[in-house]
Structure 1
Amino acid sequence: MAVIMQFAGNERGGWVRLLSVGEPLPRAVWWLIAARAVNRLGAFSLPFLTVLIAAQYAASAAVAGLVSAAFGLATVPSRLVGGRLSDRLGPRRTIVVGLAGCAVAQLGIAAANTLVVTVIFVVLLGLVFELYEPPSQALIADAVTAPARVRAYSLLNAALAAAGMGAGLIAASLGRWDLRWLFVADAVTCLICALVVQRVLPGDPPRAGRAPRQTHHVAPWRDSTLMALLVSGTLFALVYLQIMITLPLSMAHRGLRPADAGLLFTTSALTIVLGQPLLRFKPLVTLSTPAAFATGYTLLALGLAGYGAAHSLSGYSAPTAVWSLGDLVLMGRVYALVADLAPAHGTGRYMAVYGTSWGIAGILAPLAGTQLLQYTGAAMLWLSMSGACLTLALTQPFLARAVAARASLQAARASTVVNAEK
C-alpha cells in the first residue's frame, strides 16, 4: 500500500512521470486512482464464483451460470442508483457506501454454507457492486479538461493493471488453498479503499443532499449517440466478461487448474504495465480515436482466437499478451467519448447509463459462455468472442467519428452564442 501511496503522491517519479505527460492531474484524481488500485488487489474473486458454486455445492455449469447471471442482473439498477446517489449524496459518500456494501456481501459469500444463502449474498453484491463506479468516473471527468480525459482514464487502468499483477498471484495462491479466501481478501481491500476515500478525498458539497436543477434536464436515455455507444459497449463487456468469468471454467474443461487463470490475469496486467512506454511512440501518440478502436479490437480478436487453439498453460500465455496489448490501446477512450457527450452537470448520469452495459453483459455473459462451453466446446466459445471483436473493430470507429462531429457542432454553437452576446 505504501508503494501505491507513493505512486499517487509523487508525480515526478518513475511510471508517474511517464504517464503524466501533459497538464498535471488534480491531487484528488491521484488519490482516487491509488484507492482503486488497493481495491484491485483483491478483485479476482468474481472470476471464480462459478467455480466455487460448482465445486462447493456440486452444481452444474448451467446452474453456476444462472447464479452469475443473477449477479449481473442486480448490477443494472446498482449502476443507475450510483449515478443518482452521486448527485444527491455526493461522490465521496456514494463511493464509501458502495465499497462497504461490497465488503459485507463478499464476507457473506465466504461464510455461506448453503447454495441459497450464497445466492442471497451474490445478489446483494450485485446490488452494491456498481454504486461507486459512476461517481468515480464522473469525478475524474469533471476534474480534468477534455484533452486530458483519455490520459486520466488510461492512468487509472494502468494503476489497476499494476495492482492486478499482485491480485492474480493472490488468486492463484489462495485459490489453490480455498476459493472462499478470495472473497475474504476482496472484502478487506474494499474496506481499505473505502477508508482511503473517506480520509483523503475532498468532502462532498454542502448541497449534495439535493440534486442540482440542471440535472433535471439531463436525458441520457434519449441520446441516440449514447444508446449506440451502449450497444457497442455491451458487446465489448460481453466479450471481456467471458475472460473474467468463463476462462477458469474453460481451462478446467481442458484439464488445467482453474486457479491458474490467476496467472494469466497476472500476465495480462504485466503486459499492460510494461506496455505503457509504447503509448509514447509517435505512431500511437498520433493515432486517431477511430484508428485506435480498430487496432485495439483487432488485437483482442487475435488473442481470443489464440485461446481457441490453446491446450496448455503456456499456450494460453501468448494470446493473453496479444489481447492485453489491444486492451492497452483501447484504455480510457470509450469513457472519454461518453464524457464528451455528457452535458454540463450530467456526467454522472451519462456514465451510469453507459455503465449499464456491464450489468446487461453480466446477465448474458455467464449464460452464453457456459452454454457455449457445454454444448460447443472451448474452441467455439473463443472463436465466437473473436468474431464479436472483429465486429467492434468495424463499427466502433464510426461511433467515434459521430461523437467528434457532435462535439464540433456544439463548440461551433457555443462560439456563435458568445459572439452574439458580444
Structure 2
Amino acid sequence: MPVIGGAGRLPRTVWWLVLARAVNRLGAFSLGFLTVLITTDFGVSLVAAGVISAAFGLATIPSRLLGGVLADRLGRRRTIVAGLVGCALAQAGIAVSGSVAMVAAFAVLLGLVFEIYEPPSQAMIADAVRPEQQAQAFSLFNTALAVGGMGAGLIAAGLGRWDLRWLFVADAVSCLICAAVIRLALPADPPPATRRPASAAAGDRSAWRDHRLLVLLFSGTLFAVIFMQVGMAMPLALVRRGLEAADAGLLSAVSAVVMVACQPLLRWTAGLSHHAAMTSGYLLLAAGLAGYAMADGLPGHLAATVVWSAGDVLMFGRSYALVVDLAPPDARGRYLAVFGTCWGFATVLAPLCGTRLLEHAGPAGLWGGLAAACLLLAAAQLTVIRPLLRRQGSYAIVGAGPP
C-alpha cells in the first residue's frame, strides 16, 4: 500500500464540492423534526410517526446504491444534480402535505433520493485528485458536513419556533442552491461515447462479490455504529450523569471546530500508510470514548470530544481512499456506494445497541464498551485487513479476472 506523499493544493473541483456539501448540510436540519410534524399537525401517535421515519431510513440504503450505479453510467455531475433536485421536490412535498399518507409517501420518496448525492460526489473527488491527495480531500469533505451542521442547529431553532413546515421549505431551497452550485461550477460529464463502459467483471454486482470490499464494509459498519452513538446516545448519557441534554449540542459544535483545526494533522501524518493512519485514528477514538466513560462533568466531556474528533480526522478520509484503491476506475461510484451503505446499516443498528448498553451498563459501560470496540478495530486493521488487501490482487472479484 503506497504511503501518502505531499498532498499539495487540492483541485478547484474538490473545493466546490466541499462548499456545496456545507450549503446542503446547512439546510438539512428538517429530518429531525419529521416525527414532530407528523404528531403535532396530524395527531398521529408517536409509534406511527416512528414507523414513517424508519421507512425513510430504510429507503436511504437503496438510494445510495442507485447513486453509485448512476454515477458510473449517467455521469457524476448529472447524478448529483438529479439527486439534489429530487430531494428538493420531496422536501417541498412534505411541506405542503395535507394528510399523513402524503407525508409518508414523500418521506419514502425523500429516502429513495436522499443518498444519491454521496457516491458521485465521492467518485468525482477520487477522479479529480492524485492518489496521495485522496485522504486529505475525503477528510475535508467530511469536515464540511460537521461545519454545516453547526449552523443548521441555529437555523432550525429560528424557523422551528415559527412553523415546522418552513424547515422543509428551507431544506428544499438549500438543495436547489447546492444543485445550482454543482451545475454551474463543476466541469461537465464527458459524453457517453468517451466514458469507459463498465466491463462484465465490473458489472453491477461485482462490488458485492469483492471479498476485500465486504471486509471494509463490515469494519466500516462497526465504526459507523460507534460514531453514531455520540449523536444518538450522548443526550441520554448526559442526563444520566446529571447534566443537561442540550450540552450535547455544545459537544457537537466543539467537535466541528476541532475537525477544522486538525486538518493540518493530515499533512503531518502524510508519510503514514492508510492502515497505520487508521490504526492511530482508532486509538484516538478509543481514548476519547474512554474519556467519556470516566468523565463526570462537562469539562471532562469537552476534553474527550477533542481527542476523539482528532482521531476521526486522522482515519475517516483514509477509509474512503482504501475503497478507491480497490475499485476499478470505471466502478468507483459503485464501490463507494456499497461501502457507504455502512451508514444505512448503522442507522438501524445504532439506536438498538446504544439504548441497550445504556440501560444495562450505564454511561460508563456504554462508552467503555465502545472504546473497547475501537481497540478491536485498531487491531483488526493491522492484523486482518492490511494482510488481506496485500495478499489479494487489485481486482480480486470472485469468479472474475481484472477488467
TM-score (norm 2): 0.81
Give a deviation string over 1:236-282, Cα, whole Å, max 9, x none: 1112222333434544666665555333221111011112233343x
Equivalent residues of 2:72, 2:331 under 8 A apart: no
Equivalent residues of 2:292, 2:301 under 8 A apart: yes
Give the structure 2 partner of residue 261 of structure 1: 248
Equivalent residues of 2:197, 2:330 under 8 A apart: no
Equivalent residues of 2:77, 2:188 under 8 A apart: yes
> 1: CA distance between counterparts of 2:176 and 2:288?
35
2:371 counterpart of 1:399: no
Give the structure 2 partner of residue 213 of structure 1: 197
Give the structure 2 partner of residue 10 of structure 1: none
Name the CA shift for 1:67/1:237 in 2 (closer, same or farther; >3 Å): farther
Note the C-alpha offset of 1:338: 0.5
Note the C-alpha offset of 1:55: 8.3
2:124 counterpart of 1:131: no
Equivalent residues of 2:228, 2:350 under 8 A apart: yes
> 2: CA distance between counterparts of 1:305 and 1:51?
34
Equivalent residues of 2:39, 2:45 under 8 A apart: yes
**Residue number among 186, 206, 231 corresponding to 2:218 in the alignment:** 231
Give the structure 2 partner of residue 276 of structure 1: 263
Instruction: Give the 3-state SS of the residue equivalent to 1:287 in structure 2.
Output: coil
* Greater alpha carbon shift after TM alignment, 293-302 vs 46-55: 46-55
Q: Which amino acid aligns with 1:394?
A: A
Give the structure 2 partner of residue 415 of structure 1: none
Note the C-alpha offset of 1:123: 2.7
Note the C-alpha offset of 1:192: 1.2
Map 1:7-406 onto structure 2 (within 5 A): 22-46=7-31, 67-109=52-94, 118-171=103-156, 183-207=168-192, 212-218=196-202, 219-251=206-238, 258-281=245-268, 284-308=269-293, 313-373=298-358, 377-397=362-382, 398-404=384-390, 406=392
Equivalent residues of 1:230, 1:357 under 8 A apart: yes
Note the C-alpha offset of 1:148: 2.0
Q: Which amino acid aligns with 1:199?
A: L
* Greater alpha carbon shift after TM alignment, 184-193 vs 306-315: 306-315
Equivalent residues of 1:108, 1:118 under 8 A apart: yes
Instruction: Give the 3-state SS of the residue equivalent to 1:213 in structure 2.
Output: coil
Instruction: Give the 3-state SS of the residue equivalent to 2:177 in structure 1.
Output: helix
> 1: CA distance between counterparts of 2:107 and 2:282?
31
> 2: CA distance between counterparts of 1:379 and 1:46?
30
> 2: CA distance between counterparts of 1:367 and 1:249?
14
* Greater alpha carbon shift after TM alignment, 131-140 vs 109-118: 109-118
> 1: CA distance between counterparts of 2:37 and 2:214?
35
Name the CA shift for 1:381/1:38 in 2 (closer, same or farther; >3 Å): same
Instruction: Give the 3-state SS of the residue equivalent to 2:231 in structure 1.
Output: helix
Give a deviation string over 1:284-324, Cα, whole Å, max 9, x none: 33333222222211222232333345565555322222211
Q: Which amino acid aligns with 1:230?
A: L
> 2: CA distance between counterparts of 1:71 and 1:253?
30
Note the C-alpha offset of 1:226: 0.7
Note the C-alpha offset of 1:30: 2.5
Name the CA shift for 1:301/1:215 in 2 (closer, same or farther; >3 Å): same
Name the CA shift for 1:326/1:179 in 2 (closer, same or farther; >3 Å): farther
> 2: CA distance between counterparts of 1:249 and 1:182?
25
> 1: CA distance between counterparts of 2:378 and 2:61?
26
> 1: CA distance between counterparts of 2:12 and 2:72?
22
Note the C-alpha offset of 1:107: 4.2
Note the C-alpha offset of 1:142: 1.8
Name the CA shift for 1:49/1:238 in 2 (closer, same or farther; >3 Å): farther
Aligned residue-pair number: 387
For structure 2, the residue ranges without an aligned partner over 5 or more in a row are 397-403
Equivalent residues of 1:168, 1:266 under 8 A apart: no
Q: Which amino acid aligns with 2:201?
A: H
Equivalent residues of 2:274, 2:322 under 8 A apart: no
Equivalent residues of 1:82, 1:134 under 8 A apart: yes
* Greater alpha carbon shift after TM alignment, 394-403 vs 254-263: 254-263
